[in-house]
Structure 1
Amino acid sequence: MNEITLPTQEEARALTDRIKIAVEGTWQLIREAYTSRTWAVLGYDTWDAYCTAEFGNARLRLPREERQEVVSSLRDSGLSLRAIASATGLSPATVMRDARVSDETPREVTGLDGKTYAAPVADEVVDAELVDVPSRPEPPKVKRRPLPEAFTDAGRDLTRAAERLARLTEDDRFAKNRETTHHQVPELLGALEHTTRLVQAMNLPAANASKEARRWWATSLHKISDALTDVANSIEKEQ
């Protein structure tokens, strides 16, 4: 077995003092995270969810002889009873018991909605819970792209996808693998249906376009319609 080298009394005292400083710094950071609503900025709905997700089992467990002092310090900083329970890993009942000793004088607490309330006495469990009712921060408004820009990009994506599929029909392996493509018919027909609804929604008859453009639109639509009609008629003949 390895022998343990005991520290000198001076080293032991220095190490203990460092631990005290580290522990105190931890609670300072916890107070800052709560009062600045750091949890809301990171997208958590509640302080409880933030503590659980970010720290889990890493939350510092308090020795019994230090609990009341830490609870009192956090209460003085404005944390509510439930917020202290989440930060320390203690049960709400334990925090309430420890708070009884330090709640003899009125103080204010900061609720999870960022507002300040008169602190309830520890025995008023219902009121203490009401202080902690979270108020969800207003979700940031999503800045939408200009519709013409989004429409152009979506149209280009559709065209590229259709062109890729059409090129596959020119592959010398397509004839041998034609049967393996039939399972895609529902998706392809769905895409055609969406495209048809899109063309209808564009209200092309009322479009401000030249006669040549309008004639080309009509010719193309007739050509597509005739081709699809021929496929539909062939399917019905084979039934």
Structure 2
Amino acid sequence: MNEIALPTQEEARALTDRIKIAVEGTWQLIREAYISRTWAVLGYDTWDAYCNAEFGNTRLKLPREERQEVVASLRDSGLSTRAIAAATGTDQKTVRNDLADTGEEFSSPVVGVDGKTYTVTRAPEVLNAELVDEPARPEPPKQKRRPLPEALNDAGRDLTRAAERLARLTEDDRFAKNRETTHHQVPELLGALEHTTRLVTAMNLPAAEASEEARRWWATSLHKISDALADVANSIQKEQ
């Protein structure tokens, strides 16, 4: 029997980063599919039916520790316990237990199957039911938010790390052979670029108090990025 050639440490790290990025992207897409009611557009009567028919047994089974993080993230995005159970291939009791362990069960509103947003104030045992219109109830006191500069710094560091991981993958000697497999990531990457552009625009850099050197560097970097993206866009249009 031929021995399996072990990857180098660099190859092992690159593969692991690719898996992380792919998994993170999966849950982002699931959130988007639920919130946008993609299942209804495709003719399914329920979110459960959509998940079962389209994904079946291909849903990723996660260890408890990772599952709790994913479940909490989906709940924070507005998915009900029933929707999360269907998406993750678990039962509602497991989802509720995971949420109870993380304290997320009633921490944020739920987007119902009708596309409307509801404040969850019901007892856990009735969360199985489809959400229906009900009189507005007083919202619980809002939790104290983190200072915005602190939250922005953390988000910026996360974005930088993710971008660096992606850039390292382009330097992998196997990237050229696997280029075609990267194209399904384009919508997510363009979405990330759009979000970043909104942030840069909101920062109002022209009015910022900064040195001439800093302003010149900002402008040069933005032009460089803009030109590179424009070249890609022009090349795509020429191939049409």
TM-score by length of 2: 0.52
Superposed CA deviations along residues 62-93 of structure 1, whole A, max 9, x for unmatched, are 12220110001101111000100000101111
8 Å CA contact 1:30–1:87 kept in 2: the answer is yes
8 Å CA contact 1:81–1:92 kept in 2: the answer is yes
Instruction: State the match for 1:218 in structure 2.
Output: none
**Equivalent position SS for 1:7:** coil
8 Å CA contact 2:79–2:111 kept in 1: the answer is yes
Larger Rg: 1
Q: CA deviation at 1:125?
A: 1.9
Instruction: State the match for 2:78 in structure 1.
Output: 78
Is 1:108 the counterpart of 2:103? The answer is: no
Superposed CA deviations along residues 13-33 of structure 1, whole A, max 9, x for unmatched, are 111111000000000100000
8 Å CA contact 1:68–1:102 kept in 2: the answer is no
Superposed CA deviations along residues 25-58 of structure 1, whole A, max 9, x for unmatched, are 0001000000000001111110000001111111
Superposed CA deviations along residues 128-158 of structure 1, whole A, max 9, x for unmatched, are 1235469xxxxxxxxxxxxxxxxxxxxxxxx
For 1:113 and 1:104, the matched residues in 2 are separated by 20
For 2:42 and 2:69, the matched residues in 1 are separated by 29
AA matched with 1:34: Y
Q: CA deviation at 1:102?
A: 3.2
Q: CA deviation at 1:120?
A: 4.4
For 1:105 and 1:96, the matched residues in 2 are separated by 10
For 1:49 and 1:88, the matched residues in 2 are separated by 13
Superposed CA deviations along residues 143-196 of structure 1, whole A, max 9, x for unmatched, are xxxxxxxxxxxxxxxxxxxxxxxxxxxxxxxxxxxxxxxxxxxxxxxxxxxxxx
Unmatched segments (≥5 aa) in structure 2? 134-240
Considering Cα pairs closer than 8 Å and 6+ residues apart, tell me whether 1 or 2 has the greater RCO.
Answer: 2
AA matched with 1:106: S
Instruction: State the match for 1:158 in structure 2.
Output: none
For 2:47 and 2:90, the matched residues in 1 are separated by 15
Unmatched segments (≥5 aa) in structure 1? 135-239
8 Å CA contact 1:111–1:132 kept in 2: the answer is yes
Q: CA deviation at 1:105?
A: 6.2
**Equivalent position SS for 2:45:** coil
Count of aligned pairs: 132
**Equivalent position SS for 1:97:** helix
Alignment of 1:109-148 (within 5 A): 109-120=110-121, 124-126=124-126, 128-132=127-131
TM-score by length of 1: 0.52
Instruction: State the match for 2:160 in structure 1.
Output: none
Is 1:58 the counterpart of 2:58? The answer is: yes
Instruction: State the match for 2:12 in structure 1.
Output: 12
Superposed CA deviations along residues 75-126 of structure 1, whole A, max 9, x for unmatched, are 11110001000001011111110011232663111011111111347x6121
What value does the CA root-mean-square deviation take over the aligned residues? 1.9
For 1:125 and 1:91, the matched residues in 2 are separated by 13
**Equivalent position SS for 2:128:** helix
Change (3 A) 1:31 1:104: closer
